[in-house]
């Protein structure tokens, strides 16, 4: 039995994950609450203890953190959201409290890629990039059916790659930036748009795009343009033939991908693009938790 824990800036989601990828016994906690009460790491330790008491069959705990990790996967070394965890020997602390249990940590975007690898519809793929388009823009890569972590352990941080306008991919298409872009476009839009008078969210823009709203479609084209630009460099660097797209904006897949492909085809020879398979990630919000559990599957 495996416990998966998906740690985010807003909430911490825990769940028992079966080898078939079924999640049960979900418990969700407020991240800030954990920080403020007894400190994040101690709260994590206590809650894991509660699970172990209730489910003594748990043999391993996998955790995804939204930050950069030490090469030996024992510590988080850079994380903006939960600073008190940075450089804390979190795996060692948990190991000494619960010595019979295996603990593993990984970056959250890499967990999402692993989730698709172990439990998604695309699990047969040899290699892919999983892009998470949300508040942040994350990347996780599978090469030869293994998680790729690069030279020092924190590869594929694609959200921070520069696009041609001098901003990073995340600064162009991360949700808050995208909403800002949409509001600006709307305020100066000469034509009619269904977005007028609405509260702008990715979901609302997508609903309008589905109904044929030109401005809404154009806003997702903007996402595809910058995603495509950054993909040119990523594909030249990693030579992958599959891209999976997940995260909060990925509902607009059909409006994003044509422009992304067009941009890639503009700058890459057919070798890279003609067999390129671009698909939706299928696990949604559960990819991170499932991937965290996946860290343990290989080891037990």
Residue numbers at the binding site for a copy of itself (CB under 8 A): 68, 77-78, 126-128, 143-144, 149-158, 160-162, 164-166, 168, 229-230, 232-234, 236-241, 267-269, 271
Q: Residue 50 Cβ, how far from a copy of itself at the closest point, in Å?
A: 34
Residues 241, 17: Cα–Cα separation, whole Å: 29
Closer residue to a copy of itself (CB): 266 or 285? 266
Report the DSSP pairing between strands 23-30 and 11-17.
antiparallel
Q: Whose Cβ is closer to a copy of itself: residue 15's or residue 138's?
A: 138
Min dist. Cβ of residue 151 to a copy of itself (A):
3
- Sheet containing 60-65, strands listed edge to edge, beginning at the edge strand earlier in sequence: 23-30, 11-17, 2-7, 60-65, 102-107
CB of 89 to a copy of itself, least distance (A): 18
Q: How far is the CB of 226 from a copy of itself (least distance, A)?
A: 12
Which lies closer to a copy of itself via its Cβ, residue 77 or residue 101? 77
**What span, in angstroms and rounded, lies between the C-alpha atoms of 232 and 69?**
26
- b/e per residue, 283-292, with b = 16+ CB within 10 A? beebbbbbbb
- Separation CA 111–CA 105 (nearest Å): 9
Cβ closest to a copy of itself, residue 125 vs residue 295:
125
Cβ at position 65, least distance to a copy of itself in Å: 15
Two tokens at 27? 């418990």
In the complex with a copy of itself, the residue whose CB is nearer, 180 or 277, is 277
Neighbouring C-alpha atoms within 13 Å toward the C-beta of 184: 7
User: Distance between CA atoms of 201 and 187, rounded to whole angstroms?
Assistant: 15
d(CA 276, CA 95): 42
Smallest gap from residue 265 Cβ to a copy of itself (A): 14
Compute, in degrees rounded to 10, the torsion defined by CA atoms 214, 218, 220, 225. Answer: 150
Nearer to a copy of itself, 201 or 242 (CB): 242
CA dist., res. 120 & res. 232, Å (int): 25
């Amino acid at each position: 039995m495996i416990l998966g824990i998906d740690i985010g800036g807003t909430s911490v989601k825990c769940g028992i994950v079966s080898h078939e990828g079924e999640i049960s016994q979900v418990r969700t906690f407020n991240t800030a609450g954990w920080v403020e009460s007894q400190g994040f790491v101690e709260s994590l330790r206590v809650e894991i203890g509660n699970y172990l008491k209730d489910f003594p069959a748990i043999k391993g705990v996998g955790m995804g953190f939204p930050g950069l990790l030490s090469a030996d996967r024992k510590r988080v070394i850079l994380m903006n959201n939960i600073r008190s965890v940075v450089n804390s020997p979190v795996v060692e602390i948990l190991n000494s409290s619960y010595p019979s249990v295996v603990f593993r940590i990984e970056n959250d975007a890499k967990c999402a890629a692993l989730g698709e690898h172990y439990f998604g519809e695309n699990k047969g793929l040899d290699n892919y990039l999983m892009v998470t388009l949300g508040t942040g823009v994350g990347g996780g890569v599978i090469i030869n059916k293994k998680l790729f972590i690069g030279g020092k352990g924190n590869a594929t941080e694609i959200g921070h790659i520069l696009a041609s306008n001098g901003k990073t991919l995340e600064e162009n298409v991360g949700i808050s930036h995208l909403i800002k872009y949409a509001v600006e476009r709307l305020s100066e839009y000469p034509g009619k748009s269904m977005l007028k008078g609405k509260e702008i969210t990715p979901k609302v823009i997508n609903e309008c795009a589905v109904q044929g709203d030109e401005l809404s479609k154009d806003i997702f084209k903007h996402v595809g343009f910058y995603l495509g630009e950054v993909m040119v460099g990523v594909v030249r660097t990693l030579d992958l033939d599959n891209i999976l797209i997940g995260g909060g904006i990925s509902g607009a897949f059909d409006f994003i991908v044509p422009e992304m492909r067009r941009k890639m085809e503009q700058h890459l020879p057919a070798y890279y693009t003609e067999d390129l398979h671009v698909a939706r990630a299928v696990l949604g919000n559960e990819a991170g938790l499932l991937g965290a559990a996946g860290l343990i599957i290989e080891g037990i």
